[in-house]
């Protein structure tokens, strides 16, 4: 059975599986009509796989923000697999790319994308990232998700420097029916976190979602501030924060990777939230982040709706990129066989 067919069967097992797979397929429309369409066009133009074919494919992958090192590894693996399968048919490459995308992301092991949720005690999740990447919106959408799961959630307005940041979080608090712990604009973020942890404990909350400042103009000050916030949380709850989620904007491509590296140097990032993946034609950044940082992508933004922030799944991602082309080929083959 082909790899694509295996994925299709796997995702048609339940209504929930089919709905999330559909979200990936819809959310990756821009990447599919950009990157995947170029791959499909390349396959259509060549009668056989040769060095020129691989050179063009290399350019397409680099253009999709997959990252230079990852592209070199992927091309080497594709060449080996083509040789192993003893195929010269460009049509076969689409299936191999889909499979290798999953392999490179997982690196041969199961990647843990679930959040580190504490049972029967308070879970503290710290959100970091530069301004404008969708950090506050991500917090609001996750608050909604946890509330739907029956959890008691509290938000901490730790971005006390950006004008309007506290108000923005309060709007999300009202929309989701969740309390927001805040102080006045310009106050010490660590003091806000102290208040928030104490409030979450006393109110019997399950989840505390903490917003932080994202000014990269003075990197040293920002990183020192994040370390101070973490120390305050750790003093109140020794093994917290249980997750440090770095929020990056997929539409900024290699810039997102640079930001991710900067934050990873300064704080223990445990996972990535990749927002606006639906807004880019270069969705390869998922692979670059995973490969170059060694940090799992835990959530991806696949649209504007409240439930369009989805847990990341490498197989659904690869399937969403190439599903349309595979299905069109399947229909064409069936018609040709009739």
Residues at the binding site for GTP are: 129-136, 211-215, 275-278
Task: Enumerate the known binding-site residues.
Answer: 129-136, 211-215, 275-278
Instruction: Return all residues near 75 (Cβ < 8 A) that are at least 6 apart.
Output: 54, 57, 58, 61
Under 8 Å between Cβ of 112 and 298? no
How many angstroms separate the CA atoms of 273 and 139, rounded? 10
How many angstroms separate the CA atoms of 318 and 34, rounded? 14
How many angstroms separate the CA atoms of 212 and 160, rounded? 8
**What one-character-per-residue DSSP string does 57-113 give?**
HHHHHHHTT--HHHHHHHHHHHHHHHHHHT---THHHHHHHHHHHHHHHHTTS----
DSSP bridge partners of 244 = 126
Under 8 Å between Cβ of 199 and 154? yes
Enclosing H/E stretch for 281? none
Question: Strand pairing of 297-301 and 309-311?
Answer: antiparallel
Under 8 Å between Cβ of 307 and 20? no
Enclosing H/E stretch for 262? helix 254-266
Q: Which of 92, 105, 100, 13 is nearest to 325 (CA)?
A: 92
Q: SS3 for 232?
A: helix
| Radius of gyration, alpha carbons of the chain | 22
Q: Which of 327, 335, 259 is nearest to 32 (CA)?
A: 327
């Amino acid at each position: 059975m082909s790899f694509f067919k295996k994925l299709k069967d796997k995702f048609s097992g339940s209504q929930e599986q089919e709905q999330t797979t559909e979200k990936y397929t819809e959310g990756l429309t821009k990447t599919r009509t950009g990157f995947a369409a170029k791959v499909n066009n390349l396959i259509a133009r060549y009668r056989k796989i040769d060095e020129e074919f691989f050179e063009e494919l290399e350019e397409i992958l680099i253009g999709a923000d997959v990252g230079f090192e990852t592209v070199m590894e992927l091309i080497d693996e594709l060449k080996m697999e083509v040789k192993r399968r003893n195929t010269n048919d460009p049509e076969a490459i689409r299936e191999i790319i889909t499979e290798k995308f999953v392999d490179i992301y997982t690196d041969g092991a199961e990647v843990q994308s679930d959040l580190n949720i504490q049972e029967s005690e308070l879970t503290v999740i710290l959100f970091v990232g530069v301004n404008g990447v969708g950090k506050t919106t991500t917090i609001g959408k996750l608050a909604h998700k946890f509330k739907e799961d029956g959890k008691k959630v509290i938000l901490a307005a730790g971005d006390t420097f950006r004008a309007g940041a506290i108000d923005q979080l309060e709007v999300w608090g009202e929309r989701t029916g969740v309390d927001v712990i805040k102080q006045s604009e310009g106050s010490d973020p660590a003091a806000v976190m102290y208040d928030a942890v104490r409030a979450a404990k006393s109110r019997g909350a399950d989840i505390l979602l903490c917003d932080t400042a994202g000014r990269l103009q003075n990197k040293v000050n920002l990183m020192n501030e994040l370390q101070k916030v973490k120390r305050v949380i750790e003093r109140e709850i020794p093994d917290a924060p249980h997750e440090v989620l770095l929020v990056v904007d997929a539409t900024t491509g290699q810039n997102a990777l640079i930001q991710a590296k900067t934050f990873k140097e300064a704080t223990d990032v445990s996972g990535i939230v990749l927002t606006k993946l639906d807004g880019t034609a270069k969705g390869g950044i998922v692979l670059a982040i995973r490969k170059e940082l060694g940090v799992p992508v835990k959530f991806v933004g696949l649209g504007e709706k409240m439930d369009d922030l989805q847990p990341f799944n490498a197989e659904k991602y690869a399937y969403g990129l190439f599903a349309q082309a595979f299905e069109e080929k399947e229909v064409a083959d069936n018609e040709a066989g009739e």
